[in-house]
């Protein structure tokens, strides 16, 4: 249902008023074959949503996948073949490619980041810094690449952040209010920015302590203080250039907004390869 709505909105951007170019040049009797090729090395993602885009435009378009989500694809390789009316292929082209390019970009970055985390035994996860309306697709692409998902929505877990703490008055007050209501089963995560806040979060009974925008040296210092009493998550300003330095400290989890908020799309293109009347 959510995927159908995403596809519907995306197609409306292109087709709500028709396709003046294709509708003028072609008729429903014109048929074609097309392929989608990678224009750079990438980890492929988005094949199923691309298939559904073409089906939404024209159920009769034949969609033949030659690669699957998660496959490492080399520049120049063909990932899928299409056959159907020229009109339908051209009308679905950009929407399908937009999904595939963004999702493949995220999956490719995720594959590289997961490899670094695995080297040091650190779990790499995403954040909610996703494209509005596309969170489930972004987070699916993260999993395809090999990293894990953090919260999908605010209902998924307890995370006491800086503004909760400011409004509640203190870390202790916020944790106490949460624990008085939610019971013993959910874990309570608290965001901290310095050693004093870490100590307060420990004393208040936090299950997970997020070390936010700290240097690797500060993370190491806080890790000594936490000493296994809580799960350690590191976040804030972590990217491809500094990830390994944080992994060397071996926190339990590193969360990266860079997995989704600023990953460049990967380049794929659709080409008509045969006209059939």
CB 100 within 8 A of CB 50: yes
- Enter the tokens of residue 179: 């624990």
Q: For residue 11, what are the contacts with CB-CB under 8 A and spacing of at least 6?
A: 53, 56, 57, 92, 95
Give the length of the chain: 277
- CA-based radius of gyration for the chain: 23
Q: CA-CA distance, 250 to 236, in Å (whole number)?
A: 16
Q: CA-CA distance, 106 to 261, in Å (whole number)?
A: 9
List the catalytic residue out of 129, 177, 179, 248. 129
CB 175 within 8 A of CB 201: yes
| 129 part of the active site | yes
Catalytic residue IDs: 129
């Amino acid at each position: 249902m959510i995927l159908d709505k995403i596809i519907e909105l995306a197609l409306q951007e292109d087709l709500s008023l028709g396709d003046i170019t294709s509708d003028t040049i072609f008729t429903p009797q014109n048929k074609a074959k097309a392929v989608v090729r990678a224009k750079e090395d990438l980890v492929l993602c988005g094949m199923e949503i691309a298939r559904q885009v073409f089906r939404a435009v024209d159920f009769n378009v034949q969609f033949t996948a030659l690669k699957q989500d998660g496959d490492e694809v080399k520049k120049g390789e063909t990932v899928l073949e299409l056959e159907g009316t020229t009109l339908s292929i051209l009308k679905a082209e950009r929407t399908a490619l937009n999904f595939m390019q963004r999702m493949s970009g995220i999956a490719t970055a995720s594959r590289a980041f997961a490899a670094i985390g695995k080297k040091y035994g650190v779990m790499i996860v995403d954040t909610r810094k996703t494209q509005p309306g596309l969170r489930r697709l972004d987070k699916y692409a993260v999993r395809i690449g090999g990293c894990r998902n953090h919260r999908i929505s605010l209902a998924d877990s307890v995370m006491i952040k800086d503004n909760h703490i400011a409004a509640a008055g203190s870390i202790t007050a916020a944790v106490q209010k949460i624990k008085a209501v939610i019971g013993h089963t959910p874990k309570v995560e608290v965001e901290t920015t310095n050693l004093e806040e870490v100590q307060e979060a420990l004393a208040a009974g936090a299950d997970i302590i997020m070390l936010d925008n700290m240097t690797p040296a500060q993370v190491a210092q806080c890790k000594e203080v936490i000493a296994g009493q809580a799960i350690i998550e590191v976040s804030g300003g972590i990217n491809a250039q500094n990830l390994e330095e944080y992994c060397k400290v071996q926190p339990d989890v590193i969360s990266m907004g860079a997995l989704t908020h600023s990953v460049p799309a990967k380049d794929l293109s659709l080409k008509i390869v045969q006209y059939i009347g």
